[in-house]
Amino acid sequence: MTLDGLWKTLSILALISGTAFAGPTLEFHADADGFAGGPVRFTVEGDLAKADVLALTDDNGRTVGYAQKDGDEFVALAPSLKRNETVSYALSVAKDAPNRVELTQNDDHTIDVTIDGTLFTSYHYAPDLRKPFLYPVLLEGKYRMTRGYPMEDFEGEPKDHIHHKSWWVAYGEVNGSDFWGESEKSNATQRTDEIAEVISGPVFGRLHAKNSWVGDEKKEVSEERVYTFYAGEGPDRLTDMKVTFTATDGDAVFHDTKEGGICSFRLNPKIDEKHGNG
């Protein structure tokens, strides 16, 4: 078994046999700091490697989780562990694993992301938008983490910076074009060329979008955006976001500006420090 990118406080001890379990066993160990829980990656060999989903079973024969295939690796959600705690799970091919993370692509150029049946967020990429964004961003399906304006109007919310759309990707200046603001002085747009991948699964769901950043005169750079949404313990949400730029149409110069981007998040004012709620 090989390991990749594991949390500092967590170790996958071994993929072993000959324990209390009849077959291969996955063993997690937390160090003196404990572990809050989260996704980990591992590889297996033999028949297990051919499966799309593996079941994790405790010593009572109860299925406590799953490991979902991602390329040549599997991704599992390690549980929260106390300091120096070790847990072991038997691994087997899953016969019926529910999709805890469900992505639904709609006709109105949105993609809904639900976790355990509750809406977490929606990806908006309609052709008339200057840039794609995620909205709303919810905890427990009801607590808004980002500002509603300009998508929705909520009492008491500031209505500044119309380009601050919840959770978005932007940059102040690429080859002289402004991909941050949305003023009439610039027509710079992030155009969605393709939704390359929409995946649902028992451990994670994934959205992969291919975009072109088109400036006032020409395309400036190609961009690929990958969101991986994880299921987890309790109401907490964890998302990996990967943004890749490729200079496909000549040099792409990202100038120094005060609007850096790349991952941008406009908080709901009810939970920010400025309003005494941080």
The whole-number pLDDT of residue 1 equals 35
Angle at 274 between CA 268 and CA 278, to 5 degrees: 65
Within 10 angstroms of residue 276's Cβ, the number of other Cβ atoms is 7
Tens of pLDDT, residue by residue over 89-123, are 999 999 999 999 999 999 999 999 999 999 999 99
The residue whose two tokens read 């847990």 is 87
Per-residue pLDDT for 44 more than 80? yes
Q: Give bridge partners of residue 11 from the DSSP assignment.
A: 29
Rounded Cα distance between 132 and 209, Å, is 10
Q: What is this structure's pTM?
A: 0.91
Measured torsion, CA atoms of residues 195, 199, 205, 209, in degrees rounded to the nearest 10: -10
What is the distance, to the nearest Å, from the Cα of residue 265 to the centroid of all Cα atoms in its chain? 14
Rounded Cα distance between 158 and 3, Å, is 46
Peptide bond into 136 cis (omega under 30): yes
According to CATH, the topology of domain 3-93 is Immunoglobulin-like (2.60.40)
The whole-number pLDDT of residue 13 equals 47
Domain limits, the chain: 3-93, 101-275
3-state secondary structure of 79: coil
- Nearest CA-CA partner of 232 in 26, 40, 21, 94: 40
Within 10 angstroms of residue 228's Cβ, the number of other Cβ atoms is 20
CB 92 within 8 A of CB 57: yes
The whole-number pLDDT of residue 32 equals 87
Per-residue pLDDT for 4 more than 50? no
Tens of pLDDT, residue by residue over 231-270, are 988 888 999 999 999 999 999 999 999 887 899 999 999 9
Compute the average pLDDT of residues 173-181. 94
